[in-house]
Structure 1
Protein backbone atom coordinates (compact mmCIF):
# COMPACT_ATOMS: atom_id res chain seq x y z
CA UNK A 1 0.00 0.00 0.00
CA UNK A 2 1.19 3.52 -0.70
CA UNK A 3 -0.08 7.06 -0.25
CA UNK A 4 0.31 10.15 -2.41
CA UNK A 5 -0.48 13.50 -0.73
CA UNK A 6 -2.04 15.76 -3.36
CA UNK A 7 -2.82 18.72 -1.11
CA UNK A 8 -1.63 19.52 2.42
CA UNK A 9 -3.01 23.00 3.06
CA UNK A 10 -5.77 23.92 5.50
CA UNK A 11 -8.60 26.24 4.59
CA UNK A 12 -7.17 27.72 1.43
CA UNK A 13 -4.36 27.06 -1.03
CA UNK A 14 -1.05 28.88 -0.86
CA UNK A 15 1.77 29.22 -3.35
CA UNK A 16 3.30 26.04 -1.94
CA UNK A 17 0.30 24.00 -0.78
CA UNK A 18 -2.92 22.82 -2.37
CA UNK A 19 -6.01 21.99 -0.33
CA UNK A 20 -6.79 18.59 1.14
CA UNK A 21 -6.66 15.50 -1.02
CA UNK A 22 -4.76 12.22 -0.73
CA UNK A 23 -4.57 9.25 -3.07
CA UNK A 24 -4.35 5.80 -1.51
CA UNK A 25 -3.15 2.98 -3.77
CA UNK A 26 -3.63 -0.61 -2.60
CA UNK A 27 -2.33 -3.79 -4.28
CA UNK A 28 -5.05 -6.21 -5.36
CA UNK A 29 -4.71 -9.96 -5.97
CA UNK A 30 -6.80 -9.93 -9.16
CA UNK A 31 -6.11 -6.53 -10.74
CA UNK A 32 -3.23 -4.03 -10.88
CA UNK A 33 -4.41 -1.87 -7.96
CA UNK A 34 -7.28 -0.19 -6.09
CA UNK A 35 -7.23 3.61 -5.92
CA UNK A 36 -9.12 5.61 -3.30
CA UNK A 37 -9.19 9.40 -3.08
CA UNK A 38 -9.55 10.68 0.48
CA UNK A 39 -11.04 14.18 0.30
CA UNK A 40 -11.16 16.18 -2.90
CA UNK A 41 -10.11 19.76 -2.33
CA UNK A 42 -9.90 22.42 -5.01
CA UNK A 43 -7.68 21.39 -7.96
CA UNK A 44 -7.47 17.75 -6.85
CA UNK A 45 -7.78 16.57 -10.44
CA UNK A 46 -4.94 18.89 -11.49
CA UNK A 47 -2.74 17.18 -8.91
CA UNK A 48 -3.79 13.79 -10.26
CA UNK A 49 -2.74 14.89 -13.74
CA UNK A 50 0.59 16.14 -12.35
CA UNK A 51 1.13 12.68 -10.84
CA UNK A 52 0.08 11.00 -14.12
CA UNK A 53 -2.90 9.34 -12.44
CA UNK A 54 -5.94 9.08 -14.76
CA UNK A 55 -9.07 10.29 -12.92
CA UNK A 56 -11.04 7.34 -14.26
CA UNK A 57 -8.70 4.97 -12.44
CA UNK A 58 -10.18 6.12 -9.11
CA UNK A 59 -12.42 3.46 -7.55
CA UNK A 60 -13.85 5.51 -4.69
CA UNK A 61 -13.85 8.99 -3.19
CA UNK A 62 -14.11 9.24 0.60
CA UNK A 63 -15.03 12.65 2.02
CA UNK A 64 -14.33 13.39 5.68
CA UNK A 65 -16.63 16.44 5.81
CA UNK A 66 -18.17 19.10 3.62
CA UNK A 67 -15.98 22.15 4.22
CA UNK A 68 -14.89 23.62 0.90
CA UNK A 69 -11.19 22.87 1.26
CA UNK A 70 -12.09 19.18 1.32
CA UNK A 71 -14.80 18.91 -1.37
CA UNK A 72 -14.60 21.79 -3.86
CA UNK A 73 -12.62 19.60 -6.25
CA UNK A 74 -15.53 17.18 -6.62
CA UNK A 75 -17.46 19.07 -9.35
CA UNK A 76 -14.45 19.20 -11.65
CA UNK A 77 -13.48 15.59 -10.98
CA UNK A 78 -17.00 14.26 -11.61
CA UNK A 79 -17.29 16.40 -14.72
CA UNK A 80 -14.02 15.08 -16.14
CA UNK A 81 -15.02 11.49 -15.43
CA UNK A 82 -18.24 12.11 -17.36
CA UNK A 83 -16.42 13.65 -20.33
CA UNK A 84 -14.11 10.62 -20.30
CA UNK A 85 -17.23 8.46 -20.68
CA UNK A 86 -16.77 6.56 -17.45
CA UNK A 87 -19.16 3.62 -17.31
CA UNK A 88 -18.20 1.79 -14.15
CA UNK A 89 -19.71 3.06 -10.88
CA UNK A 90 -17.80 5.46 -8.65
CA UNK A 91 -18.32 4.85 -4.96
CA UNK A 92 -18.75 8.11 -3.05
CA UNK A 93 -18.68 7.89 0.76
CA UNK A 94 -19.12 10.75 3.21
CA UNK A 95 -21.03 12.25 6.12
CA UNK A 96 -24.59 13.50 6.31
CA UNK A 97 -25.22 16.18 3.69
CA UNK A 98 -23.10 14.71 0.92
CA UNK A 99 -26.16 13.84 -1.18
CA UNK A 100 -27.45 17.40 -0.75
CA UNK A 101 -24.15 18.71 -2.10
CA UNK A 102 -24.27 16.45 -5.14
CA UNK A 103 -27.96 17.18 -5.79
CA UNK A 104 -27.34 20.91 -5.48
CA UNK A 105 -24.52 20.80 -8.00
CA UNK A 106 -26.56 18.69 -10.40
CA UNK A 107 -29.52 21.10 -10.15
CA UNK A 108 -27.49 23.87 -11.79
CA UNK A 109 -25.81 24.13 -15.19
CA UNK A 110 -22.47 23.96 -13.40
CA UNK A 111 -22.37 20.16 -13.41
CA UNK A 112 -24.10 17.43 -15.35
CA UNK A 113 -23.47 14.08 -13.69
CA UNK A 114 -23.43 11.34 -16.30
CA UNK A 115 -21.46 8.67 -14.46
CA UNK A 116 -23.05 6.02 -12.23
CA UNK A 117 -22.60 6.96 -8.57
CA UNK A 118 -22.87 4.66 -5.57
CA UNK A 119 -23.38 7.33 -2.92
CA UNK A 120 -23.56 6.52 0.77
CA UNK A 121 -23.91 8.86 3.73
CA UNK A 122 -23.10 8.16 7.37
CA UNK A 123 -24.33 10.30 10.23
CA UNK A 124 -21.50 10.83 12.75
CA UNK A 125 -24.10 11.48 15.46
CA UNK A 126 -25.21 7.85 15.43
CA UNK A 127 -21.76 6.27 15.02
CA UNK A 128 -19.88 4.84 17.98
CA UNK A 129 -16.82 6.81 19.04
CA UNK A 130 -15.48 3.83 20.96
CA UNK A 131 -15.27 1.34 18.09
CA UNK A 132 -15.01 1.30 14.32
CA UNK A 133 -18.02 0.92 12.04
CA UNK A 134 -17.10 -1.38 9.16
CA UNK A 135 -18.47 -0.64 5.70
CA UNK A 136 -18.75 -2.80 2.60
CA UNK A 137 -15.17 -3.29 1.33
CA UNK A 138 -13.89 -1.46 -1.73
CA UNK A 139 -12.75 -4.28 -4.01
CA UNK A 140 -11.63 -6.41 -1.03
CA UNK A 141 -10.04 -3.41 0.72
CA UNK A 142 -11.43 -3.16 4.25
CA UNK A 143 -13.04 0.21 5.04
CA UNK A 144 -14.07 1.42 8.49
CA UNK A 145 -15.20 4.79 9.83
CA UNK A 146 -15.55 6.60 13.15
CA UNK A 147 -16.97 10.01 14.14
CA UNK A 148 -14.58 12.92 14.60
CA UNK A 149 -14.99 16.18 16.53
CA UNK A 150 -15.14 19.15 14.18
CA UNK A 151 -17.51 22.08 13.61
CA UNK A 152 -19.61 20.14 11.08
CA UNK A 153 -20.48 16.43 10.75
CA UNK A 154 -17.15 14.69 10.18
CA UNK A 155 -15.94 11.12 9.87
CA UNK A 156 -12.50 9.56 9.71
CA UNK A 157 -11.51 6.54 7.65
CA UNK A 158 -9.37 3.46 8.11
CA UNK A 159 -8.32 1.18 5.25
CA UNK A 160 -6.70 -2.24 5.45
CA UNK A 161 -5.23 -4.02 2.45
CA UNK A 162 -6.15 -7.68 1.90
CA UNK A 163 -3.66 -10.24 3.13
CA UNK A 164 -1.03 -11.25 0.59
CA UNK A 165 0.07 -14.83 -0.14
CA UNK A 166 3.30 -15.98 1.46
CA UNK A 167 6.54 -15.88 -0.51
CA UNK A 168 7.46 -18.92 -2.57
CA UNK A 169 10.33 -21.09 -1.34
CA UNK A 170 12.52 -20.87 -4.45
CA UNK A 171 15.10 -23.38 -3.21
CA UNK A 172 12.41 -25.97 -2.47
CA UNK A 173 10.81 -25.43 -5.90
CA UNK A 174 14.16 -26.01 -7.59
CA UNK A 175 14.57 -29.25 -5.66
CA UNK A 176 11.16 -30.37 -6.89
CA UNK A 177 12.02 -29.39 -10.46
CA UNK A 178 9.21 -26.88 -10.89
CA UNK A 179 10.13 -24.60 -13.81
CA UNK A 180 9.73 -20.83 -13.77
CA UNK A 181 6.55 -19.70 -15.48
CA UNK A 182 2.78 -20.14 -15.06
CA UNK A 183 3.12 -22.91 -12.47
CA UNK A 184 4.72 -20.50 -10.03
CA UNK A 185 1.83 -18.08 -10.47
CA UNK A 186 -0.68 -20.83 -9.74
CA UNK A 187 1.16 -21.81 -6.57
CA UNK A 188 1.30 -18.15 -5.53
CA UNK A 189 -2.49 -18.05 -5.87
CA UNK A 190 -2.80 -21.12 -3.64
CA UNK A 191 -3.52 -23.64 -6.39
CA UNK A 192 -1.91 -27.12 -6.48
CA UNK A 193 0.25 -28.07 -9.49
CA UNK A 194 1.77 -31.27 -10.88
CA UNK A 195 5.55 -31.78 -10.57
CA UNK A 196 7.59 -33.21 -13.47
CA UNK A 197 7.47 -36.63 -11.79
CA UNK A 198 3.67 -36.54 -11.71
CA UNK A 199 3.30 -35.86 -8.01
CA UNK A 200 1.09 -33.07 -6.71
CA UNK A 201 2.70 -30.04 -5.14
CA UNK A 202 0.49 -28.19 -2.70
CA UNK A 203 0.91 -24.45 -2.33
CA UNK A 204 1.13 -24.77 1.46
CA UNK A 205 4.26 -26.93 1.06
CA UNK A 206 6.24 -24.31 -0.86
CA UNK A 207 4.99 -20.95 0.44
CA UNK A 208 5.68 -19.07 3.61
CA UNK A 209 3.02 -17.69 5.99
CA UNK A 210 0.40 -15.29 4.72
CA UNK A 211 1.55 -11.65 4.93
CA UNK A 212 -0.89 -9.40 6.75
CA UNK A 213 -2.09 -6.43 4.75
CA UNK A 214 -0.96 -2.98 5.79
CA UNK A 215 -3.29 -0.36 7.27
CA UNK A 216 -3.67 3.42 7.14
CA UNK A 217 -6.04 5.75 8.99
CA UNK A 218 -7.08 9.34 8.24
CA UNK A 219 -8.11 11.69 11.05
CA UNK A 220 -8.94 15.23 9.89
CA UNK A 221 -10.44 17.70 10.53
CA UNK A 222 -10.82 17.06 14.25
CA UNK A 223 -10.08 17.96 17.83
CA UNK A 224 -8.56 15.09 19.85
CA UNK A 225 -11.36 12.56 20.37
CA UNK A 226 -12.18 8.91 20.98
CA UNK A 227 -13.15 8.33 17.36
CA UNK A 228 -9.69 9.36 16.19
CA UNK A 229 -8.14 7.00 18.72
CA UNK A 230 -10.29 4.10 17.49
CA UNK A 231 -9.18 4.78 13.92
CA UNK A 232 -5.51 4.96 14.92
CA UNK A 233 -5.35 1.86 17.13
CA UNK A 234 -2.31 -0.17 16.05
CA UNK A 235 -2.38 1.29 12.54
CA UNK A 236 0.71 1.11 10.34
CA UNK A 237 0.36 4.74 9.25
CA UNK A 238 -1.77 7.43 10.87
CA UNK A 239 -2.41 10.46 8.65
CA UNK A 240 -3.46 13.20 11.06
CA UNK A 241 -4.13 16.87 10.71
CA UNK A 242 -1.67 19.30 12.30
CA UNK A 243 -3.36 22.58 11.50
CA UNK A 244 -1.76 24.49 14.37
CA UNK A 245 1.33 24.56 16.56
CA UNK A 246 0.94 24.06 20.30
CA UNK A 247 1.45 27.80 20.86
CA UNK A 248 -1.84 28.24 18.99
CA UNK A 249 -3.68 25.50 20.90
CA UNK A 250 -6.55 27.83 21.79
CA UNK A 251 -7.16 28.51 18.09
CA UNK A 252 -7.08 24.78 17.37
CA UNK A 253 -9.78 24.10 19.94
CA UNK A 254 -11.87 27.09 18.86
CA UNK A 255 -11.92 26.00 15.22
CA UNK A 256 -12.21 22.25 15.81
CA UNK A 257 -8.67 21.29 14.92
CA UNK A 258 -5.57 19.67 16.42
CA UNK A 259 -2.01 20.75 17.03
CA UNK A 260 0.97 18.74 15.88
CA UNK A 261 1.51 17.77 19.52
CA UNK A 262 -2.10 16.56 19.77
CA UNK A 263 -1.46 14.29 16.77
CA UNK A 264 1.70 12.93 18.38
CA UNK A 265 -0.10 12.23 21.68
CA UNK A 266 -2.79 10.34 19.80
CA UNK A 267 -0.30 8.28 17.77
CA UNK A 268 1.53 7.34 20.95
CA UNK A 269 -1.61 6.46 22.91
CA UNK A 270 -3.05 4.40 20.05
CA UNK A 271 0.23 2.53 19.42
CA UNK A 272 0.33 3.62 15.79
CA UNK A 273 3.50 2.57 13.97
CA UNK A 274 4.07 5.87 12.17
CA UNK A 275 2.53 9.33 12.01
CA UNK A 276 2.22 11.52 8.92
CA UNK A 277 1.25 15.14 9.54
CA UNK A 278 -0.83 17.14 7.05
CA UNK A 279 -3.42 19.97 6.78
CA UNK A 280 -1.17 22.88 7.71
CA UNK A 281 -2.47 26.40 8.38
CA UNK A 282 -1.39 29.08 5.93
CA UNK A 283 -0.13 31.12 8.89
CA UNK A 284 3.00 28.95 8.91
CA UNK A 285 5.45 29.62 6.08
CA UNK A 286 7.49 26.61 7.18
CA UNK A 287 6.31 23.48 8.95
CA UNK A 288 9.65 22.56 10.49
CA UNK A 289 8.37 23.66 13.90
CA UNK A 290 5.32 21.43 13.63
CA UNK A 291 7.51 18.45 12.79
CA UNK A 292 9.88 19.16 15.69
CA UNK A 293 6.94 19.52 18.06
CA UNK A 294 5.48 16.14 17.11
CA UNK A 295 8.78 14.26 16.92
CA UNK A 296 9.67 15.32 20.46
CA UNK A 297 6.71 13.23 21.62
CA UNK A 298 6.47 10.61 18.86
CA UNK A 299 9.77 10.15 17.00
CA UNK A 300 8.28 8.12 14.13
CA UNK A 301 6.70 11.25 12.66
CA UNK A 302 7.13 12.79 9.22
CA UNK A 303 5.33 15.49 7.26
CA UNK A 304 3.34 14.95 4.09
CA UNK A 305 5.03 16.34 1.01
CA UNK A 306 2.83 16.91 -2.00
CA UNK A 307 3.32 14.53 -4.93
CA UNK A 308 5.84 12.44 -2.98
CA UNK A 309 4.76 8.82 -2.50
CA UNK A 310 4.82 7.27 0.97
CA UNK A 311 5.04 3.49 1.24
CA UNK A 312 3.04 1.82 4.01
CA UNK A 313 4.89 -1.35 4.98
CA UNK A 314 3.93 -4.09 7.43
CA UNK A 315 5.26 -5.74 9.53
CA UNK A 316 8.48 -4.23 10.82
CA UNK A 317 8.70 -1.75 7.95
CA UNK A 318 8.47 1.99 7.75
CA UNK A 319 6.96 4.64 5.57
CA UNK A 320 9.54 5.54 2.96
CA UNK A 321 9.24 8.44 0.54
CA UNK A 322 9.76 7.73 -3.13
CA UNK A 323 10.29 10.05 -6.05
Structure 2
Protein backbone atom coordinates (compact mmCIF):
# COMPACT_ATOMS: atom_id res chain seq x y z
CA UNK A 1 0.00 0.00 0.00
CA UNK A 2 2.97 2.37 0.43
CA UNK A 3 3.29 2.59 -3.36
CA UNK A 4 0.08 4.62 -3.42
CA UNK A 5 2.06 7.48 -1.89
CA UNK A 6 3.87 8.10 -5.20
CA UNK A 7 2.68 9.86 -8.32
CA UNK A 8 5.10 9.67 -11.27
CA UNK A 9 4.15 11.46 -14.46
CA UNK A 10 5.17 13.07 -17.76
CA UNK A 11 4.26 16.51 -19.04
CA UNK A 12 3.92 16.41 -22.77
CA UNK A 13 1.71 14.88 -25.41
CA UNK A 14 -0.96 12.43 -24.31
CA UNK A 15 0.74 11.70 -20.95
CA UNK A 16 -0.27 15.05 -19.45
CA UNK A 17 -3.99 14.72 -20.07
CA UNK A 18 -4.80 12.42 -17.14
CA UNK A 19 -2.89 14.27 -14.42
CA UNK A 20 -5.70 16.67 -13.46
CA UNK A 21 -8.13 13.77 -13.16
CA UNK A 22 -5.72 11.71 -11.05
CA UNK A 23 -5.16 14.56 -8.61
CA UNK A 24 -8.86 15.32 -8.39
CA UNK A 25 -9.61 11.62 -7.79
CA UNK A 26 -7.05 11.53 -4.96
CA UNK A 27 -8.84 14.45 -3.32
CA UNK A 28 -12.32 13.08 -3.95
CA UNK A 29 -11.30 9.82 -2.26
CA UNK A 30 -9.75 11.79 0.61
CA UNK A 31 -6.60 9.70 0.57
CA UNK A 32 -5.46 9.73 4.21
CA UNK A 33 -1.73 10.17 3.64
CA UNK A 34 0.58 12.60 1.90
CA UNK A 35 1.15 12.12 -1.85
CA UNK A 36 4.48 12.97 -3.49
CA UNK A 37 4.48 13.85 -7.20
CA UNK A 38 7.71 13.27 -9.15
CA UNK A 39 8.07 14.85 -12.59
CA UNK A 40 10.74 16.45 -14.80
CA UNK A 41 11.79 19.82 -13.41
CA UNK A 42 11.32 21.43 -16.82
CA UNK A 43 7.61 20.53 -16.59
CA UNK A 44 6.98 22.63 -13.48
CA UNK A 45 4.69 25.13 -15.24
CA UNK A 46 2.76 22.31 -16.90
CA UNK A 47 2.30 20.61 -13.53
CA UNK A 48 0.97 23.80 -11.96
CA UNK A 49 -1.47 24.39 -14.81
CA UNK A 50 -2.77 20.83 -14.80
CA UNK A 51 -2.98 20.58 -11.02
CA UNK A 52 -5.42 23.48 -10.98
CA UNK A 53 -6.98 22.97 -14.42
CA UNK A 54 -10.48 22.85 -12.91
CA UNK A 55 -12.14 23.77 -9.63
CA UNK A 56 -12.12 21.13 -6.89
CA UNK A 57 -11.78 20.92 -3.12
CA UNK A 58 -8.15 20.27 -2.21
CA UNK A 59 -8.23 17.99 0.83
CA UNK A 60 -5.06 15.91 0.40
CA UNK A 61 -1.51 17.08 1.03
CA UNK A 62 0.44 16.79 -2.23
CA UNK A 63 4.19 17.40 -2.22
CA UNK A 64 5.82 18.47 -5.46
CA UNK A 65 9.21 16.83 -6.08
CA UNK A 66 10.67 17.89 -9.46
CA UNK A 67 13.35 15.57 -10.89
CA UNK A 68 16.47 17.17 -12.35
CA UNK A 69 19.10 14.40 -12.24
CA UNK A 70 19.59 10.65 -12.05
CA UNK A 71 19.48 9.08 -8.62
CA UNK A 72 17.33 7.99 -5.69
CA UNK A 73 14.09 9.97 -5.30
CA UNK A 74 12.67 8.21 -2.25
CA UNK A 75 13.74 5.52 0.18
CA UNK A 76 11.36 3.83 2.63
CA UNK A 77 11.33 0.49 4.47
CA UNK A 78 9.11 -0.85 1.67
CA UNK A 79 10.91 0.35 -1.45
CA UNK A 80 13.49 2.58 -3.11
CA UNK A 81 12.41 4.78 -6.03
CA UNK A 82 15.10 5.94 -8.43
CA UNK A 83 15.10 7.77 -11.76
CA UNK A 84 17.26 7.80 -14.89
CA UNK A 85 17.29 10.40 -17.65
CA UNK A 86 16.02 9.12 -20.99
CA UNK A 87 16.51 10.33 -24.57
CA UNK A 88 13.53 12.20 -26.02
CA UNK A 89 12.97 15.57 -27.75
CA UNK A 90 11.80 16.95 -24.40
CA UNK A 91 13.07 16.11 -20.91
CA UNK A 92 11.97 12.63 -19.89
CA UNK A 93 12.81 10.25 -17.03
CA UNK A 94 12.21 6.59 -16.40
CA UNK A 95 11.57 5.21 -12.94
CA UNK A 96 12.32 2.01 -11.02
CA UNK A 97 10.90 0.66 -7.76
CA UNK A 98 13.14 -1.78 -5.88
CA UNK A 99 11.96 -3.81 -2.92
CA UNK A 100 14.61 -4.38 -0.22
CA UNK A 101 16.14 -7.83 0.04
CA UNK A 102 14.72 -10.08 2.73
CA UNK A 103 15.55 -13.48 4.21
CA UNK A 104 14.02 -16.87 3.58
CA UNK A 105 14.28 -19.26 6.52
CA UNK A 106 15.29 -22.85 5.71
CA UNK A 107 13.16 -25.31 7.77
CA UNK A 108 15.71 -28.12 7.43
CA UNK A 109 18.61 -26.03 8.69
CA UNK A 110 16.47 -24.62 11.50
CA UNK A 111 15.52 -28.14 12.57
CA UNK A 112 19.15 -29.28 12.42
CA UNK A 113 20.03 -26.58 14.94
CA UNK A 114 16.96 -27.28 17.10
CA UNK A 115 15.42 -23.87 16.46
CA UNK A 116 11.62 -23.70 16.35
CA UNK A 117 8.61 -21.64 17.40
CA UNK A 118 9.26 -18.21 18.95
CA UNK A 119 13.02 -18.78 18.75
CA UNK A 120 12.82 -18.31 14.97
CA UNK A 121 11.47 -14.80 15.44
CA UNK A 122 14.16 -14.05 18.04
CA UNK A 123 16.85 -15.18 15.62
CA UNK A 124 15.39 -13.05 12.82
CA UNK A 125 15.30 -10.02 15.10
CA UNK A 126 18.64 -10.43 16.84
CA UNK A 127 20.70 -12.08 14.07
CA UNK A 128 22.18 -14.75 16.37
CA UNK A 129 20.74 -17.25 18.83
CA UNK A 130 22.77 -19.64 21.03
CA UNK A 131 25.73 -19.22 18.72
CA UNK A 132 23.70 -19.86 15.53
CA UNK A 133 23.73 -16.97 13.07
CA UNK A 134 20.93 -16.00 10.73
CA UNK A 135 23.13 -16.75 7.70
CA UNK A 136 23.48 -20.38 8.84
CA UNK A 137 19.75 -21.09 8.67
CA UNK A 138 18.48 -18.78 5.93
CA UNK A 139 19.26 -17.35 2.52
CA UNK A 140 18.80 -13.96 0.89
CA UNK A 141 15.43 -13.40 -0.77
CA UNK A 142 16.04 -10.86 -3.49
CA UNK A 143 13.63 -7.92 -3.51
CA UNK A 144 11.49 -7.55 -6.61
CA UNK A 145 12.10 -4.77 -9.13
CA UNK A 146 9.65 -2.88 -11.33
CA UNK A 147 10.61 -0.31 -13.98
CA UNK A 148 8.55 2.12 -16.05
CA UNK A 149 10.25 3.39 -19.22
CA UNK A 150 8.31 5.74 -21.46
CA UNK A 151 9.12 8.26 -24.21
CA UNK A 152 12.67 7.43 -25.18
CA UNK A 153 14.93 6.10 -27.87
CA UNK A 154 17.68 3.64 -26.93
CA UNK A 155 20.05 5.12 -24.35
CA UNK A 156 22.02 4.18 -21.24
CA UNK A 157 19.09 5.07 -18.99
CA UNK A 158 16.86 2.47 -20.63
CA UNK A 159 19.36 -0.32 -19.96
CA UNK A 160 20.08 0.85 -16.42
CA UNK A 161 16.40 0.87 -15.47
CA UNK A 162 15.67 -2.53 -17.01
CA UNK A 163 18.58 -4.41 -15.43
CA UNK A 164 17.35 -7.36 -13.37
CA UNK A 165 13.69 -6.29 -13.34
CA UNK A 166 10.94 -8.72 -12.49
CA UNK A 167 8.56 -6.55 -14.53
CA UNK A 168 9.41 -3.94 -17.15
CA UNK A 169 6.69 -1.69 -18.57
CA UNK A 170 8.27 -0.11 -21.62
CA UNK A 171 7.20 1.86 -24.63
CA UNK A 172 7.06 0.12 -28.00
CA UNK A 173 5.72 2.88 -30.21
CA UNK A 174 6.92 1.60 -33.59
CA UNK A 175 7.44 -1.70 -35.33
CA UNK A 176 10.93 -2.68 -36.40
CA UNK A 177 10.50 -1.69 -40.04
CA UNK A 178 10.11 1.90 -38.86
CA UNK A 179 13.23 1.96 -36.67
CA UNK A 180 14.59 5.11 -38.36
CA UNK A 181 11.31 6.92 -37.73
CA UNK A 182 11.34 5.74 -34.12
CA UNK A 183 14.82 7.16 -33.55
CA UNK A 184 13.93 10.46 -35.21
CA UNK A 185 10.95 10.91 -32.88
CA UNK A 186 12.63 9.62 -29.73
CA UNK A 187 10.87 6.27 -29.42
CA UNK A 188 11.53 2.52 -29.37
CA UNK A 189 10.47 -0.33 -31.63
CA UNK A 190 9.04 -3.64 -30.44
CA UNK A 191 12.29 -5.43 -31.23
CA UNK A 192 14.42 -2.86 -29.44
CA UNK A 193 12.29 -3.03 -26.30
CA UNK A 194 12.38 -6.82 -26.34
CA UNK A 195 16.17 -6.96 -26.76
CA UNK A 196 16.59 -4.57 -23.84
CA UNK A 197 14.42 -6.88 -21.72
CA UNK A 198 16.22 -10.00 -22.95
CA UNK A 199 19.69 -8.64 -22.21
CA UNK A 200 18.61 -7.28 -18.80
CA UNK A 201 17.16 -10.59 -17.63
CA UNK A 202 13.61 -9.22 -17.32
CA UNK A 203 11.09 -11.85 -16.23
CA UNK A 204 7.90 -10.15 -17.44
CA UNK A 205 7.74 -7.62 -20.26
CA UNK A 206 4.78 -5.29 -20.80
CA UNK A 207 4.77 -3.41 -24.11
CA UNK A 208 2.70 -0.24 -24.44
CA UNK A 209 2.43 3.23 -26.06
CA UNK A 210 1.69 1.99 -29.58
CA UNK A 211 1.36 4.19 -32.63
CA UNK A 212 -2.14 4.07 -34.05
CA UNK A 213 -0.67 3.56 -37.51
CA UNK A 214 -0.52 -0.19 -36.82
CA UNK A 215 -3.90 -2.00 -36.97
CA UNK A 216 -2.70 -5.34 -35.54
CA UNK A 217 -1.45 -5.23 -31.90
CA UNK A 218 -0.36 -8.84 -32.25
CA UNK A 219 2.49 -7.76 -34.51
CA UNK A 220 4.23 -6.15 -31.53
CA UNK A 221 4.25 -9.50 -29.72
CA UNK A 222 5.48 -11.33 -32.82
CA UNK A 223 8.40 -8.94 -33.29
CA UNK A 224 9.25 -9.05 -29.57
CA UNK A 225 9.43 -12.86 -29.70
CA UNK A 226 11.46 -12.72 -32.89
CA UNK A 227 13.95 -10.52 -31.04
CA UNK A 228 14.60 -13.34 -28.60
CA UNK A 229 12.61 -12.43 -25.49
CA UNK A 230 11.38 -15.67 -23.90
CA UNK A 231 9.82 -14.50 -20.63
CA UNK A 232 6.23 -13.56 -19.86
CA UNK A 233 4.98 -11.00 -22.39
CA UNK A 234 1.92 -8.73 -22.36
CA UNK A 235 0.83 -6.39 -25.12
CA UNK A 236 -1.00 -3.79 -23.04
CA UNK A 237 -4.51 -2.58 -23.79
CA UNK A 238 -6.83 -0.11 -22.08
CA UNK A 239 -7.70 -1.06 -18.49
CA UNK A 240 -5.70 -4.29 -18.56
CA UNK A 241 -4.32 -5.42 -15.19
CA UNK A 242 -1.00 -7.23 -15.12
CA UNK A 243 0.10 -8.85 -11.86
CA UNK A 244 3.71 -8.84 -10.80
CA UNK A 245 5.28 -12.27 -11.37
CA UNK A 246 5.64 -14.53 -8.36
CA UNK A 247 8.99 -14.48 -6.66
CA UNK A 248 11.53 -16.51 -8.54
CA UNK A 249 12.99 -17.93 -5.32
- After TM superposition, the score normalised by the length of structure 1 is 0.65
Q: Shift of the alpha carbon at 1:209?
A: 1.0
Distance in 2 of aligned mates of 1:116 and 1:216:
26
2:234 to 281, 286, 303: 303
> Aligned runs of 1:13-52 on 2, under 5 Å?
33-35=1-3
Residue in structure 1 matched with residue 162 of structure 2 by the alignment: 232
Distance in 1 of aligned mates of 2:119 and 2:17:
47
Distance in 2 of aligned mates of 1:172 and 1:254:
58
CA RMSD of aligned residues (A): 3.1
Distance in 2 of aligned mates of 1:187 and 1:298:
47
Residue in structure 2 matched with residue 218 of structure 1 by the alignment: 148
8 A Cα contact 1:166 1:209, kept in partner: yes
> Aligned runs of 1:1-323 on 2, under 5 Å?
33-35=1-3, 58-63=4-9, 65-107=10-52, 109-123=54-68, 127=69, 133-169=71-107, 172-173=110-111, 176=114, 178-179=116-117, 183=118, 186-187=121-122, 189-191=124-126, 204=134, 207-301=137-231, 302-305=233-236, 306-315=239-248
Q: Shift of the alpha carbon at 1:169?
A: 1.4
Alpha carbons of structure 1 residues 66 and 107: separation in structure 2 relative to 1, 3 Å: closer
Distance in 1 of aligned mates of 2:157 and 2:109:
47
Higher relative contact order structure (alpha carbons within 8 Å, sequence separation ≥ 6) = 1
Return 5+ residue gaps in structure 1 as ranges: 1-32, 36-57, 194-198, 317-323
8 A Cα contact 1:61 1:91, kept in partner: yes
8 A Cα contact 2:106 2:139, kept in partner: no
Secondary structure of 1:309's counterpart equals coil
8 A Cα contact 1:187 1:203, kept in partner: no
Q: Shift of the alpha carbon at 1:206?
A: 7.8
Q: Shift of the alpha carbon at 1:218?
A: 1.9
Residue in structure 2 matched with residue 22 of structure 1 by the alignment: none
- How many residue pairs match? The answer is 246
Distance in 2 of aligned mates of 1:69 and 1:188:
52
Secondary structure of 1:119's counterpart equals strand
Distance in 1 of aligned mates of 2:17 and 2:124:
42
* Higher normalized helix content (fraction of residues): 2
8 A Cα contact 1:191 1:203, kept in partner: no
